[in-house]
C-alpha cells in the first residue's frame, strides 16, 4: 500500500525521473513571491519576470518557470490524451491561448509541475518542491479562472474550457500527492446535490464521487462555451462512433450477463420492493446497458478517454444511487472502474481503477461476490473466502 492510502496495484512499479537533481541550483518559482533580481513585475499575475525600465535594462527570467513551460511543451502535453490528433492542440492551440490568458498559463505550469512531481522519488526534496509549486500555480490559476467561468464569451471561451479540462487532471492527480493539493473542489453542477450520502468518509469511492462532480461540471462548461469552441480546439470534442469501436470479447459479455442477473437473484429481492425501488431498478439496468456500449472504447487506445463519458452523461439519479451506496449501482461502478484501468498509462489516473474495485469489494456483502468476480480479476485481486468482504455489509 502506498503512503497516500491507495493500495499499490500489482505489477505497477513507479518510474522516476532521475534527471532532476534533488537540490536546486536556483530558487524555485513561486507565483506568490517576488521574482529574481530587482526587476519589478508590472502584472502580479504574470508568470514570467519582465524587463526593468531604465538605461541598464536587463531581462531576467525565472528558471523554474522556463523549466515548467519547457516540460509542458516537450512532455506533459503528450500525456493529456491518448489521441495523437489532440497532441498538437494541447501543445500549440492551448498554449497560444495561454499567452493571452495568464490563468491558463498558470494552469499549464501547475500541470507540468504536477507531472514533474510524479516523476520524482516521493521522499526527495524535488518531489516536495514541485508539489508545492504546483499548488501555488493552481491557486493563481483558479483566482483568475473563477471570475471568468461565470461569464464565457468569444474572448475567453477556449481558455475557460481548457482550464476546466485541467481541473480534471488536478482532481485525479491530487489524490496521489500531498494533502494540500486536494483543494480543487469547484462544483459546476446545478441541482446535483443529494442528501443522505452514505459512502464512507474519505474512502477512494467517496473521493472519486467528488471527481465525478468535477467531470460533470466540465460538461456544463462545455455547454456554456460551445459557441466559441471552433477551429483546432474542436479536436478535443470529438468522440468515437459505433463503427469506430470493436465488439466486446466473450469474457466481458459474460460479465455483463452475470451482472444483469443480479436483479433476479432471490437473495436480493428486498432491493426491489416498492414502486420507487422498481424505478431504481429500471434506471440501473439502463446504465448497465450504457456502460456495455461505451466501454467498448477500452480496446482502442486512441479512444480510451471516452470511458469518462459514461459518468459525465449519466443521469443525476444514478449519481445519487452511488452516493447512497446502492449495492447494484456500486457493482456496476466496480465494472466501470475495472475498465477504467485502460487509462493507467496516464500518470494522472494510474492506480485509481484498482483502488476503486478494492474499495467497493470491501463495502459489499458476500452475496455480491459473484457479481464482483470479473472486476476483481481484472485488477488482480483474488478472493480469500469471505475475507475480501469483511468490511461494511450492505444486503
What pLDDT digit, counting tens, does each position of 198-232 carry? 777 778 898 888 888 877 877 788 888 888 888 99
CA 250, 284, 319, 388 dihedral sign is negative
| CB neighbours of residue 280 within 10 Å | 21
Give the integer Cα–Cα distance in Å for 9 and 354: 6
Model confidence at 50: pLDDT above 50: no
Domain ranges of the chain: 63-237, 247-389
Query: Nearest 10 degrees: CA dihedral of 131, 135, 136, 137?
Result: 100
Give the integer Cα–Cα distance in Å for 342 and 350: 9
CA 290, 235, 344, 312 dihedral sign is negative
Looking at the chain, the whole-number percentage of residues with pLDDT higher than 70 is 75
Q: Show the cell assigned to 27.
A: 530558487
Q: Say if residues 204 and 158 touch (Cβ distance below 8 Å).
A: no
For cell 424505478, name the residue.
279
DSSP label at residue 161: H
Mean pLDDT of 72-79: 96
User: Residue 230 is inside which H or E element, if any?
Assistant: none
- Per-residue model confidence as pLDDT tens digits over 107-161: 999 999 999 999 999 899 999 999 999 999 999 999 999 888 888 899 999 999 9
DSSP label at residue 89: I
What are the residues whose beta carbons fall under 8 Å from the beta carbon of 297, sequence distance 6 or more? 240, 245, 303, 304, 306, 307, 342
pTM for the full model? Answer: 0.78
Amino acid at each position: 500500500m502506498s503512503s497516500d492510502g491507495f493500495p499499490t496495484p500489482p505489477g505497477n512499479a513507479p518510474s522516476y525521473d532521475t534527471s532532476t537533481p534533488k537540490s536546486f541550483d536556483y530558487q524555485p518559482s513561486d507565483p506568490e513571491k517576488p521574482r529574481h533580481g530587482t526587476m519589478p513585475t508590472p502584472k502580479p499575475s504574470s508568470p514570467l519576470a519582465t524587463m526593468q525600465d531604465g538605461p541598464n535594462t536587463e531581462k531576467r527570467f525565472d528558471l523554474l518557470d522556463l523549466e515548467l513551460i519547457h516540460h509542458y511543451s516537450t512532455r506533459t502535453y503528450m500525456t493529456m490524451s491518448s489521441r495523437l490528433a489532440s497532441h498538437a492542440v494541447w501543445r500549440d492551440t492551448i498554449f497560444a491561448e495561454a499567452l493571452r490568458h495568464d490563468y491558463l498559463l498558470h494552469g499549464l505550469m501547475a500541470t507540468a509541475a504536477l507531472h514533474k512531481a510524479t516523476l520524482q522519488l516521493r521522499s526527495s526534496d524535488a518531489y516536495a518542491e514541485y508539489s508545492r509549486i504546483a499548488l501555488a500555480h493552481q491557486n493563481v490559476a483558479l483566482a483568475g479562472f473563477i471570475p471568468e467561468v461565470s461569464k464565457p464569451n468569444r474572448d475567453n471561451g477556449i481558455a475557460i474550457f481548457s482550464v476546466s479540462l485541467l481541473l480534471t487532471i488536478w482532481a485525479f492527480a491530487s489524490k496521489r500527492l500531498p494533502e494540500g493539493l486536494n483543494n480543487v473542489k469547484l462544483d459546476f453542477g446545478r441541482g446535483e446535490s443529494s442528501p443522505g450520502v452514505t459512502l464512507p468518509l474519505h474512502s477512494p469511492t467517496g473521493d472519486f464521487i467528488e471527481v465525478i462532480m468535477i467531470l460533470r461540471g466540465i460538461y456544463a462548461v462545455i455547454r456554456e462555451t460551445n459557441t466559441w469552441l471552433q477551429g483546432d480546439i474542436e479536436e478535443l470534442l470529438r468522440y468515437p462512433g459505433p463503427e469506430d469501436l470493436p465488439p466486446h470479447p466473450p469474457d466481458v459479455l459474460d460479465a455483463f450477463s452475470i451482472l444483469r442477473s443480479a436483479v433476479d437473484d432471490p437473495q436480493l429481492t428486498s432491493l426491489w420492493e416498492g414502486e420507487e425501488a422498481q424505478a431504481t431498478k429500471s434506471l440501473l439496468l439502463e446504465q448497465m446497458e450504457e456502460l456495455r456500449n461505451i466501454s467498448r472504447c477500452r480496446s482502442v487506445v486512441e479512444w480510451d478517454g471516452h470511458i469518462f463519458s459514461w459518468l459525465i452523461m449519466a443521469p443525476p439519479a444514478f449519481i445519487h444511487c452511488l452516493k447512497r451506496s446502492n449495492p447494484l449501482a456500486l457493482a456496476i461502478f466496480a465494472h466501470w472502474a475495472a475498465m477504467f484501468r485502460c487509462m493507467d498509462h496516464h500518470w494522472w489516473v494510474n492506480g485509481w481503477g484498482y483502488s476503486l474495485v478494492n474499495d467497493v469489494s470491501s463495502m459489499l456483502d458476500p452475496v455480491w461476490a459473484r457479481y464482483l468476480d470479473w472486476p476483481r480479476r481484472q485488477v488482480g485481486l483474488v478472493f480469500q473466502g469471505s475475507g475480501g468482504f469483511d468490511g461494511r455489509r450492505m444486503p
